[in-house]
């Protein structure tokens, strides 16, 4: 009985506090603006990127290399889409469809890491929808989804027996 009373009291206090803490409505408004928006700067990088600064980023896709001038508030994916039909889906760092690999000057990027493992990040993989330039000499190879998928799930796919594959139909 004590714990129920305590829980009710805590809920009341939280509800009242929500009405008076100014940051709660701010966050709600901010999140409402982000819903459905594309190419927004990840929350983790807000305030860290200077939109007045641009950097030359060397990008390679399907064997073609181009140097693109990209502002800090533009993600690598958005810049690449102006030149190529590069794959992407969620634009939120979850699906890894837009994966790329940084091949030079990794300190010249800022990223929000969501759908990659620590090992993949250590090996230079990035989610280009969550990666922004912030310095000179950044070089990125695009179209690394298959490689990322292989390192994330391919190992399990190979280990699965025929019975497991047909039972769960996970790997088609
Ligand atoms: S498009 Fe899904 S992680 Fe970038």
Domains of the chain: 45-152 (3.10.20.30)
CB half-sphere exposure, 77, CA atoms < 13 A: 27
Compute mean pLDDT per 10 residues along the chain, 172 residues long, and list them. 51 49 58 68 91 98 98 97 96 94 98 90 96 98 95 78 70 54
H-state helical runs in the chain: 2-20, 23-34, 76-81, 118-122, 145-149, 155-159, 162-168
* CB-based contact 51:132 (threshold 8 Å): no
Ligand 1 in contact with 103 (CB < 6 A)? Answer: no
Beta strands in 72-164 (DSSP E): 99-104, 109-111, 125-127, 131-133, 139-141
Closest ligand 1 atom to the C-alpha of 89? 1
- Over residues 87-123, the pLDDT tens digits come to 999 999 999 999 999 999 999 999 998 889 999 999 9
Measure 77 CA to ligand 1 centroid, in angstroms: 9
């Amino acid at each position: 009985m004590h714990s129920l009373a305590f829980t009710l009291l805590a809920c009341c206090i939280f509800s009242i506090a929500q009405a008076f803490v100014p940051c709660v409505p701010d966050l709600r408004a901010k999140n409402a603006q982000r819903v459905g928006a594309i190419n927004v700067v990840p929350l983790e990088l807000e305030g860290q990127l200077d939109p007045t600064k641009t950097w030359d980023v060397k990008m390679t896709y399907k064997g073609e290399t181009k140097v693109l001038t990209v502002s800090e508030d533009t993600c690598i994916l958005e810049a690449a889409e102006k030149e190529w039909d590069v794959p992407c889906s969620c634009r939120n760092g979850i699906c890894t469809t837009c994966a790329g690999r940084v091949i030079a000057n990794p300190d010249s990027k800022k990223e929000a890491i969501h759908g990659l493992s620590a090992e993949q990040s250590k090996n230079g993989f990035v989610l280009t929808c969550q990666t922004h330039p912030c310095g000179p000499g950044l070089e990125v190879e695009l179209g690394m989804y298959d490689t990322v998928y292989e390192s994330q799930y391919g190992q399990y796919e190979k280990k699965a027996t025929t019975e497991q594959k047909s039972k769960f139909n996970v790997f088609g």
